[in-house]
Amino acid sequence: MNYLDNYNLNEEISEFTLLINDDYSENYSDSCDIKNYSSKYVNPTELATLSLKHFLEKFPIPEGSIHTAQEVEIFKSIKKDELLKGVITITNYKEIKESLFIKIKTNYLSDNDIVASSEGTLIVPKKTK
């Protein structure tokens, strides 16, 4: 069985709630060695990091996988402590030689409106143990 082959393109595969607060942002900045960063808004890289975290908790990638890209688009400023719902879908799935190229999209919703979106690319070995 191939990684994630039980799911169809553009089908919701997972959902999670997300709340980024000042404490999280401060720890995130420290871990990235970012000095003196402060904002009342969520940083796009925080969204990307947390969406990948939630995805990997539910769908751990097999040994030998690579996370090659992450794009984030913000449609509306997101204030800290704003409760978001993340909805994850697979937008592309292609087999090339012995690898699977998988694009995973996360839409971030606030009050049922999409306020941001991120899309990551994984390269996963075709044959997993």
* CATH code: domain of residue 52: 3.10.129.10
| Average pLDDT estimate for 85-102 | 91
Tally of structural domains, the chain: 1
Residue 57, in any domain of the structure:
yes
Q: Which domain holds residue 113?
A: 12-125
**Domain assignment of residue 79, yes or no:** yes
pLDDT tens track for 26-43: 888 888 888 887 889 998
Is residue 115 assigned to a domain? yes
| 18 part of a folded domain | yes
Residue 6 lies in a domain: no
Nearest CA to 81 out of 40, 27, 26, 129 is that of 40
Residue 62 lies in a domain: yes
Q: How far is CA 88 from the centre of its chain?
A: 8
Is 7 domain-assigned?
no
pLDDT at 2: 64
Q: Strands 113-125 and 84-96, how do they pair?
A: unpaired
Is it the case that residue 129 has pLDDT exceeding 70?
no
Q: Rounded to two decimals, what is the model's pTM?
A: 0.86
1 belongs to a structural domain: no
